[in-house]
Amino acid sequence: MASDPDDVMAANSAFYAAFEAGSAGGMLALWEHSDDVSCTHPGWPTLHGWTDVRRSWEGILRHGGAMQFILTDERVLVRGDVAWVHCTENLLAVEGPRGTVAAINLFVRNSSGEWKVIHHHGAQVVATMLN
């Protein structure tokens, strides 16, 4: 039986697999569908509630073009029925956004034992900070 951190990391991997595949259906299925969800896309104000979060993913995945994520610094923490994964998203889009994003994905365990995304927050890492 997989451990909680393994299950959360699997959910996190599914998140980026759906993102890379441009699969709105795949992405939306990973989220809790409630008013408690929120999402801060890089550079955006935070979106609150399922209606706005859903719309944002539909738009991004429809118009974003092919993206490839090389994830580094993945770290998972589980505290009860809440877990979060930190990772660095290294974006290799042929067209569209490039660069490095410091992300946190927050998950909650539902009554079926599934880990669902309740928050995603990405912040662009400013290159000059790294030099």
Say how far apart CA 125 and CA 86 lie, in whole Å: 14
* Structure-block tokens of residue 11: 């959910």
Task: Give one DSSP letter per residue of 37-93, joined into a string.
Answer: -EEE-TTSPPEESHHHHHHHHHHHHHHS----EEEEEEEEEEETTEEEEEEEEEEE-
Counting contacts by CB under 8 A, is residue 124 touching its own copies? yes
Number of residues that bind its own copies (CB under 8 A): 34
The residues in 9-48 that bind its own copies, with binding defined as CB under 8 A, are 36, 38, 40, 42-46, 48
CB of 79 to its own copies, least distance (A): 5
Among 15, 19, 57, 84, binds its own copies (CB under 8 A): 84
Counting contacts by CB under 8 A, is residue 63 touching its own copies? no
Q: Which residue stretch of 10-18, 57-65, 70-78, 89-97 sits at the interface with its own copies (rule: CB under 8 A)?
A: 70-78
- DSSP-derived secondary structure letter, 127: H
